[in-house]
Amino acid sequence: MDMIVRRAKLRGRKGLVDIAVERGKIARISSRIAGKARTEINAAGKLVTPTFVDPHLHLDKALISEVVRENKSGTLREAIEIIWDKKKKYTIEDNVVRATRVIEWGVKHGTTVFRSHVDVDSIGGLKPLKGVLEARKQCADIADVQLVAFPQEGILQDPGCEELMREAMELGADVVGGMPHNEMTDDDSQRHIDICFEIAKEYDADIDMHVDETDDINSRCLQYLAAKTIRENYQGRVSTGHTCALGSYDPYYAAKVIDLVKRAGINMVTNPATNLMLEGRLDRGPIRRGLTRVKDLLAAGVNVVYGQDCLKDTFYPTWGQEDMLEVGLIAAHAIQFTWPREIETLFDMPTVRSAQMLRLKGYGIEAGNPASFNVLDATTVQEAFRTQADRLYVIRKGKLLAETRTSSKIYRNK
């Protein structure tokens, strides 16, 4: 055997098990595996889970707060305006360096699969995409990265963007992105969605849009997107990020939209760190959280996940480590997750639920699957979140990628 992880605790399984790895895959899971492997890891009763998936990230923008002016208003609009200046000066090399740093941060924290939106527009052209494509290539030994062609500046109000979107797909983007609420009229927003479906169907690609990332209750792109998904028979292949306006709709309209989302099989991504910081800036109390209706969506049977979204950029300039346990802790407070079953669902979000959204094959700790798992310094998922547990070992496809072990001591006078 290439590797055996001894005395591992698995979610939903009584007792401890050994996990044998051969040729990058899980060969066997048993209460006791005889013999020795080339690499032996003693989990010592700690929790072993699949490696994390970050389903919503912006690698092209990450870390630019280190070099751009301050977002004084703290608003989404000013954040975008600051990025305009930065995008004009982007270099491919700069994007490679920043994206690689963040991927490495994520791997250290146990994330080995990422989906990153990358700006495609007339300002930066395809430089951001080319940079992140190169970072993906350079990090192929430690991570899998899906890329979304993201028209943040709109499509109709950014002439030439539609052509750039197709070029992005030809270059190697995997998913068609969108931001329909960033158009001048409701009709334009609907046409924006239509164009995204046209491109997606040309390339047999999934769709992942930023939708209604605003406090404005009149922003209602989600309803049209859900109806369009049903009409195009694209169920299960569409995801939406943010949907902040849904959190402010009246309960009757919200229920109608959620029902459509469920029928459309749309995956919903909440990004609590960024949206808690950006939304509600014009509220004078009570200040809205700015998040989507996570509990209502879950109750309706919708697949809901969370993502890091931004880190050290103009939207979220100070915080972020590309750590899914940190984002989960923030989400738990914002969504008011308290009970054990809710914490279990919280842990599903960056694992099995995100794997479902990205349509990953062979995900999970089962014989025959790729051997990609974390050994956490905790025995329950609740303790993992509460203590922000060390990722003692991060293993991907049978290869040990990272180790972290924090130590501390108290010295008392007696």
Nearest to 36 by CA among 3, 72, 74: 3
Cβ atoms of 43 and 9 within 8 Å: the answer is yes
- Catalogue all structural domains in the chain, each as residue range(s) with its CATH number: 3-45+364-403 (2.30.40.10), 52-357 (3.20.20.140)
Q: What is the pLDDT of residue 378?
A: 98
Q: What is the pLDDT of residues 188-199, one digit of tens each?
A: 999 999 999 999
What whole-number distance in Å separates Cα of residue 316 and Cα of residue 310? Answer: 6
At residue 392, the 3 state secondary structure works out as strand
Amino acid 376 reads: L
Give yes or no for residue 414 having a pLDDT over 80: no
Instruction: Round to the nearest angstrom and report the end-to-end CA distance of the chain.
Output: 51
CA 393 – CA 294 distance, rounded (Å): 31
pLDDT tens for each residue of 4-47:
999 999 999 999 999 999 999 999 999 999 999 999 999 999 99
Whether the predicted pLDDT of 264 surpasses 90: yes
- Bond before 128 cis per omega within 30 degrees: no
Which H helix or E strand runs over 224? helix 221-231
Q: What is the pLDDT of residue 76?
A: 79
Q: Measured on CA atoms in the order 170, 173, 175, 179, is the torsion positive or negative?
A: negative
Which residue of the set 183, 213, 279, 322 is catalytic?
Answer: 213
Task: Starting at the earlier edge strand, list the strands of the sheet with 48-50.
Answer: 48-50, 373-376, 391-396, 399-403
pLDDT higher than threshold 90 for residue 51:
yes
Given a cut of 80, whether residue 175 has pLDDT beyond it is yes
- Asked if residue 147 has pLDDT above 80, the reply is yes
- The pTM assigned to this predicted structure is 0.96
Per-residue pLDDT tens for 328-341? 999 999 999 999 99
Full DSSP string of 100-160: HHHHHHHHHTTEEEEEEEEE-BTTTBTHHHHHHHHHHHHTTTT-EEEEEEE-TT-STTSTT
For 229-263, the pLDDT digits (tens) are: 999 999 999 999 999 999 999 999 999 999 999 99
Q: Examine the pLDDT at 319 and tell me if it is beyond 80.
A: yes
Q: What is the pLDDT of residue 79?
A: 86
CB neighbours of 225 closer than 8 A, spacing ≥ 6?
A: 180, 193, 209, 211, 238, 240, 264, 266
Tell me how far apart the alpha carbons of residues 90 and 112 are, in angstroms, rounded to a whole number. 26
Q: Give per-residue pLDDT as tens, 129-142.
A: 999 999 999 999 99
Percent of the chain with pLDDT over 90: 92
Q: What three-state secondary structure class fits 389? A: coil
Catalytic-residue membership of 344: no
Angle, alpha carbons 396-359-100 (nearest 5°): 45
- At residue 307's C-alpha, the angle toward residues 304 and 308, to 5°, is 160
Instruction: Dump pLDDT digits (tens) for 73-125.
Output: 888 788 888 988 888 888 999 999 999 999 999 999 999 999 999 999 999 99
pLDDT band, residue 362 (cuts 50/70/90): very high
